[in-house]
Amino acid sequence: MSFERRQTRQLMVGNVPVGGGAPVTVQSMTTTKTHDVDATLAQVYALAGAGADIVRITCNTVEAAQGLAEMMPRTPVPIVADIHYQYKLALAAIEAGVSALRLNPGNIRKEEHIKAVAKEALNAGIPIRIGVNAGSLDKDLLAKYGGPVPEALVESAMIEAKYLDDVDFHDIKISVKHSNVPLMIESYRLLADTTEYPLHLGVTEAGPPPSGLIKSVAGISTLLSEGIGDTIRFSLTADPVEEAKAGKQLLEFLGLRERSGLDLIACPSCGRAEVDVISVAQEANDRLEELELPIQVAVMGCVVNGPGEAREADLGLAAGKGRGHLFIKGEVVRVVDEADMVDALVDEALLLSEQGIEARLAARDVSAADLAEETRIELLTSQGDANDAAGRRAAVKAKAE
């Protein structure tokens, strides 16, 4: 399944294409003091390693702009300078060699200042993001609309875009972020109907995980599923590396980027489980995530249903009667002692990554499937049908007749 993407103009942030059919990109923002070059670069590298394609860095002082100038030859990904209030710092950031600017029309309001920045950005060949934020909306627009409603956010963006257009500046992307998820969604829908510029998605001030993650996913994934959005950022009250990881995973789960890391799924456990599924899944996730293998792994609580329910997973583990049953695409390939099952899962994941699915299926223990079936029957005999499938089907049929 794939989503039909909204057609937009395309621009380049450094060597990263945005819009115009390019893959949706992940952004995050450093939390260090920009003048601390080594600390900021260390965080940029950490963000790039976690999946960030573009990183935004605040440029709020002259010293920060000087720090940016020192960083630019050393950064692994394009850098966007975040500018508030002082338009001359935008000029300084351009001089520093950044790949893009983010301007907030809520606090850089003078037309002549905005146009001065646009002219310099045009000469430098770098794009500008118009970053509208519900929490810092222009006071005149707040008064006009009675609050930070979608119409107010979109009008703010389009006023700014008109200033840029007046000086023939068109490498523009826009965001209209809101902390209220339904209003954020409606703002971007309205904006998508209003302009062809690429859009940067985000729920601003989403807060700490897990609520911040839930709000961000709710807003961003809704729009992406409608084909709206060209770059994304999770604005979490957390280590920004978590933002980059979450953004990367969301795009992979939606099929908008190829999987480059682990996708671990697990059953919620039930009375049939003979192991602590939560702790086994967490141990497996921690160990496999370090390997950065682009595979889907399932951790299932029992061998009765596990291999069948998770047959689409590249690799899986199901427990039963003191043993761990490893399966590939639903076929049991090895049976090991329960104490060794996570180790065996990790070993098999490495082999699967190196040799491929067909080779590992060909190398399976031919007796494993029979042993798994014996265990499955034994558990059904001793435990019965924990889900009471027959009883539930009969009750449904009785209601329907």
Q: Measuring CA to CA, how many Å separate 365 from each of 159, 211, 239, 369, 377?
A: 67, 45, 44, 8, 20
pLDDT > 80? residue 87:
yes
pLDDT > 60? residue 1:
no
Domains of the chain as residue ranges with CATH = 10-253 (3.20.20.20), 263-383 (3.30.413.10)
- Could you tell me the sign of the dihedral formed by the alpha carbons of 136, 140, 141, 143, in that order? positive
pLDDT > 70? residue 141:
yes
In this prediction, residue 271 has a pLDDT band, given cuts at 50, 70 and 90, of: low
d(CA 29, CA 129): 14
Nearest to 217 by CA among 172, 191, 255, 253: 253
Chain mean pLDDT for the chain = 91
Measure the N-to-C terminal CA separation of the chain; round to a whole number of Å.
37
Q: What pLDDT shows up at residue 311?
A: 80
Q: What pLDDT shows up at residue 203?
A: 97
Residue 210, preceding peptide bond in cis (omega within 30° of 0): yes
In this prediction, residue 388 has a pLDDT band, given cuts at 50, 70 and 90, of: low
Q: What pLDDT shows up at residue 14?
A: 97
When pLDDT is averaged across residues 207-229 and rounded to a whole number, the result is 97
Q: What pLDDT shows up at residue 161?
A: 97
Q: What pLDDT shows up at residue 389?
A: 58
Give 100's strand partners: 80
